[in-house]
Structure 1
Amino acid sequence: MISFDLIGNTPLVLLQSFSNKDVQIYAKLEQFNPGGSVKDRLGKHLIEMAIKENKIQQGDTVVEASAGNTGIGIALAANHYDIQAVIFAPEGFAEEKIAIIKALGAKVIRTEQTLGMTGAQVAAQAYEQSTGAFYLNQFDSKHNPDAYQSTLGKEITDQLDNVDYFVSGVGSGGTFTGVAKHLTAHQVESVIVEPEGSILSGGQPHAHDIEGIGSEKWPDFLSKSLVADIIKVSDEDAFNNVKRIARQEGLLVGSSSGAALQGALEIKKHIKQGIIVTIFPDGSDRYMSKQILNYKE
């Protein structure tokens, strides 16, 4: 086995302190991927599909817009296949993720914070047009949800005999879409968690402190038929849950994981029994500069 083979097959754990005999909450610990997040799966799949479709070959350059984790996953896969990677990342996100991308050998170009991910996408597209690099375009690629359907989705049903609810945050929408598609055949209700300031359940977009999830538009490949409900989560609840998960479960996770747990707890309030599965996308180690474990203290 080589390190690249460590992507996937992450642990699924029972969150004992948040469960009881009637309702159990399980979490997939995606920080156990070699790049530390669920997006390792995406980076691997996007690069491999671009090679398979003859869009790139050894020595070529790919470009992507990412706040961090997808950039890390792409850098890992690019290294494996001897591809160069350029990542456009908005200012304002955790600097640890940017440092990791650079450590993996990718070039990082920062974009204006106020323009958000949309500004980074525009810059990445312009870079493709001016240089001939291949724009992977995670936000619109059909390969995004495919990266999770037969991997993360199947792992969940392989690891648990029964699942009643799946709850996940949405950024590009690929993780939720891919897993929800797989779970549809298992009669699972799939629920989206989004920060206040994300627009999937309505309202105007605005800034939020939860990183990695939240949308400025409805993802093109996310079918509304897959969505049983959408739960809004505040920054305060998400970050308080990060601290609770650390102290009660011994798991150091990111703010999107705290948001995902809040969604699971909201579902738990309204059911008498069942099994809820969620995704903890990454760890808290890459957010220490943002005071993730001391939020507003």
Structure 2
Amino acid sequence: MTKAFDSILETVGNTPIVRITKLAPEGVELFVKLEAFNPMGSVKDRLALGIIEAAEADGSLTPGQTVVEATSGNTGIGLAMVCAAKGYPLVVTMAESFSIERRKLMRFLGAKVILTPASEKGSGMIAKARELADKHGWFLARQFENEAGPDMHSRTTAQEILECFDDAPLDYWVSGFGTGGTLKGVARKLKADSPSTRIIAAEPDNSALLASGWCQPYNADGSPAASHPAFRPHLMQGWSPDFVPKLVDDVLRADWIDELVPVAGADAMTCAQDLARYEGILCGTSGGATFAAALDIARRAPRGSRILAMLPDTGERYLSTPLFAEIEEVMNAEELDIAASTPRFRFDASASTPAAQAAPPAVPTEAARAELATLISNPETPVVFFALEWCEFCWSVRKLFAAAGIEYLSVDLDGAAYRQDDRGGALRKALAEKTGAVTIPQIFIGGRHVGGATETFDAFNSGALQEMLAGLGRQVHTEGIGNAYGFLPAWLHPRKPASA
């Protein structure tokens, strides 16, 4: 990188092409194009920028107008970035079956995420987006039929590929399809400028829409008029919705696809895992599926062939999906053995080890004792929460209190107000003396010590906490909360069951 950019949008594109060294069959050159190097981690950053800039140019998007679009996630994340940078509000519709990471990323970027029932598939989220656009006069991005997507890929993605392989021909280009923007834009350019390159399209083996031969009907605006009868739920998020997008149909009619390769979900996961473990390349399930198709081609291709597979996004977008289901959050047996190979800093360490020896109890000052007594006896703030600002256990209790509508005084012992003269440390000594507990958080209600995070959750689950607050004239909202242990950090397992 040789210059400073004026906007994050200038960093879209120019993603690297990397040669595969360990997983490639002997006798061929196998490459991947890492679209995760786009600023928001996926190939759809290109499409999002292309659609918004084209709409600005033709006047169909006006300053301050809300943008709305249906997405499986990556397009929505890309649009959220573009809209944030350009100042447009964004609303996305997304089927509830797509990964939670995607929802959170879009909301983190300022977008509103409207979930649609999984039973309605991709068609349902598209219909909802159109309904919202018609109702409110919003700009509908129409990624599945908008020509700005393929145009962006012809100008950027395809051109980058041609420049990378200008020393020798590229024999095979392999891609999956979702919207169809990448497939149409790159295939069109390669067929014109590198006609010897064979275009390989991959799709789920249990939901092979293109291979079915069924003719997809469309409405006058290019949107799908019916759900495809061959569609089945599949593992590759972002691939193959329950219809053949108009942009993909254009590729079929132009006869640009030289071969269709079906990919099993299990093969997609295996390839994504192998790319991470043997090549150091992190991609999602759709990238693993594309690579599986490329490996299939590589095993059959003539010796000396050059093959390029598109890897559309990053694996971090799939942490809550089956791709990471077998990845442990706690130490396995081998890791425990490694931990036990040295004596210190172990969960099973003896109390006699230097790291585990208890320090002598600290004696608080009279001023700290007095301050503690004043804090927990104030009737105006009956709920007093002694906390650390960024402690996960403290945030777990904060989330419970917020959900239950419980007002409280937060005494952040490590906060700026308590740093001078170690006021927070002195108060913590007084707190430990009074409660017998050295851990944080500690909660008091009406001057009575409830305990730490787990004791507070137990009190909520049993109803005791609600009774204490009711006695003080404070109401607690319990609807929809369920087990309070659900607010604990995800790395804590197992969670305690509710006692009520």
Common fold, TM-score beyond 0.5?
A: yes
Match of 2:251 among 211, 223, 248: 223
User: C-alpha distance in 2, partners of 1:261/1:293?
Assistant: 18
What letter is aligned with 1:271? A
Deviations 1:173-225 (A, max 9, x none): 11111111111120211010101214111172100111111142332233221
Deviations 1:31-85 (A, max 9, x none): 1111110000011011111111101122111110001000011111111221111
Show the counterpart of 2:265.
235
Paired residues of 1:198 and 1:215 also in contact (CA < 8 A): no
2:229 is the counterpart of 1:199: no
Paired residues of 2:36 and 2:42 also in contact (CA < 8 A): yes
Paired residues of 2:95 and 2:121 also in contact (CA < 8 A): yes
Match of 2:194 among 186, 193, 202: 186
Match of 1:290 among 298, 321, 325: 321
Q: Secondary structure at the match of 2:178?
A: coil
Paired residues of 2:8 and 2:85 also in contact (CA < 8 A): no
Identity of aligned residues (%): 33
Match of 1:210 among 236, 242, 250: 236
Normalising by the residue count of structure 2, what TM-score does the alignment of the two structures yield?
Answer: 0.58
2:87 is the counterpart of 1:59: no
User: C-alpha distance in 1, partners of 2:322/2:58?
Assistant: 42
Give 4+ residue runs of structure 1 displaced > 4 Å after superposition.
none
Q: Secondary structure at the match of 1:22?
A: coil
Deviations 1:229-263 (A, max 9, x none): 11110100000111111111011110011111111
RCO comparison, higher one (Cα < 8 Å, 6+) = 1
The alpha-carbon deviation at position 21 of structure 1 amounts to 5.5
2:117 is the counterpart of 1:128: no
User: C-alpha distance in 2, partners of 1:45/1:142?
Assistant: 9
Paired residues of 1:199 and 1:217 also in contact (CA < 8 A): yes
Show the counterpart of 1:158.
163
Paired residues of 1:170 and 1:215 also in contact (CA < 8 A): no
The alignment of Structure 1 onto Structure 2 pairs a total of residues equal to 297
User: C-alpha distance in 1, partners of 2:279/2:267?
Assistant: 17
The alpha-carbon deviation at position 295 of structure 1 amounts to 5.5
Counting only pairs closer than 5 Å after superposition, residues 90-105 of structure 1 correspond to structure 2 as 90-105=95-110
Show the counterpart of 1:48.
53
The alpha-carbon deviation at position 18 of structure 1 amounts to 2.4
Paired residues of 1:65 and 1:120 also in contact (CA < 8 A): yes
Show the counterpart of 2:404.
none
2:117 is the counterpart of 1:109: no
Which has the larger strand fraction? 1
Q: Rg: which structure is higher?
A: 2
What letter is aligned with 2:300? H
Match of 1:70 among 68, 75, 96: 75
Q: Which runs of 5+ in 2 are unaligned?
A: 213-228, 329-500
2:148 is the counterpart of 1:138: no
User: C-alpha distance in 1, partners of 2:48/2:89?
Assistant: 13
RMSD of aligned residue pairs (Cα, Å):
1.5
Match of 2:180 among 173, 188, 198: 173
2:28 is the counterpart of 1:28: no
